[in-house]
Structure 1
């Protein structure tokens, strides 16, 4: 139960991430009506912050933000991935805002940092041929970020 299946429409909605996101949306997003929901969100945020502080303690962190409109087929997409791969090899922890475009390329580059250029190019080609990520729309059939 809950596994994302590439190309299977709606399968993302059955994952833990998808169910958590649906709960967040269905309970008022940033403005829930219930004080209990507000407290649960704050507790969640505190736990994430605490875990992130432990993860990055003593590490050199580089963040790439924005660039939502950068298409996977754009030559700059692979350039961002290559830069991210090089920084990863130099010991930097790559982070982003988690969105599509340049932020997705950031995580792809970090993931492929110790693989060949051909493997990275093949991955970008596969992603470029897949459905685009549409910001702000609930479309669970789309490709998900690799981070």
Structure 2
């Protein structure tokens, strides 16, 4: 029998309602099994079952093992659970922010754990981080399945209250209002703005949010104040729509806190894995706003994909002619590569976010 994942208590309840034998080869991932202990203790059909993290009591674990299950328990000493079945939400990563400050949140603790020099070369720590990132990738694939995903890349140094921040927010709003899921690198600056705009849409709530955020323009001055302002905005304006805005940050850049405006957050320990997946899921195209080294890296990563593709891929739109032809002159390189490959039919250089949005939202690209 092919293994299959059970990632919610509702799915577990559906299995419990079936005849004996239905549990064979199930993967129970990140479930609070203590809430179904009585029902599980009443069964013995667990051959080939694998329990991946979650909550479990000692008697239940012994019962499952006795009847054929393999159990991998979460390590409570770790800052975030390794076996998880869903992406993060902002409230989970920033838990404790308003009471104790950013340094006491799971996000900050995970960063410090990942940078702990005493764990360098520790096979156990490396394994836990790899398991975590694999679970995030699995959850992310399920989250974006069947959706048009458009990436917005740009610099982390763009400050709230500036025209560049507002432009990125308007771009995110326009793309999401047209039905796209907007994905960014999940950090501050242009990434935060695009996630904010996508989450709220082009409306009065977005305009008020932009004004509210401008009071704390830069995370470099105080992550506590920067994040607390965003928390208040998110709490006040949180919409019911759940798949408009996605952030994919990394603990590799620990000095850059994740923004709070993704409908969901896929946070990775491995930046290499995160970068590759972030660009790979953008089936609706990518807009690149002005940025520095990290943004340039993303341009050439996606360029490599488009250059070696058998046919033209989704649009890659660079915004800012002066930025990309003079300040950081990558555009001539893209043109030269595009002259010899399908890349040439995918790349665009424009001056405004309105032009970028028009290219991405035109069916022909």
What TM-score results when the alignment is normalised by the length of structure 2?
A: 0.35
Dislocated runs of 4+, deviation >3 Å: none
1:133 has 2:219 as partner? yes
Which has the larger strand fraction? 2
Any idea what SS the aligned residue of 1:95 has? Answer: strand
1:19 has 2:105 as partner? no
| Structure 2 counterparts to residues 1-147 of structure 1, below 5 A | 2-5=95-98, 11-27=101-117, 32-113=120-201, 116=203, 118-130=204-216, 132-134=218-220, 140-144=223-227, 145-146=259-260, 147=262
How far apart are residue 90 of structure 1 and its match? 1.4
Q: Give the superposed CA RMSD.
A: 2.3
- How many residues end up aligned between the 2 structures? 136
Distance 2:192 2:223 in 1: 17
CA contact (8 A) 2:176 2:182 kept: yes
Distance 1:120 1:140 in 2: 22
CA contact (8 A) 1:4 1:14 kept: yes
How far apart are residue 130 of structure 1 and its match? 1.2
Structure number with greater CO (CA < 8 Å, separation at least 6) is 1
Distance 2:175 2:105 in 1: 31
Question: What do residues 42-91 of structure 1 show as CA deviations (whole Å, max 9, x unaligned)?
Answer: 11111111111111111110111222221112112112111111111111
Any idea what SS the aligned residue of 1:63 has? Answer: strand
CA contact (8 A) 2:152 2:184 kept: yes
What TM-score results when the alignment is normalised by the length of structure 1?
A: 0.80
Structure 2: gaps of 5 or more residues: 1-94, 228-258, 263-365
How far apart are residue 140 of structure 1 and its match? 4.1
Distance 1:78 1:63 in 2: 17
CA contact (8 A) 1:62 1:95 kept: yes
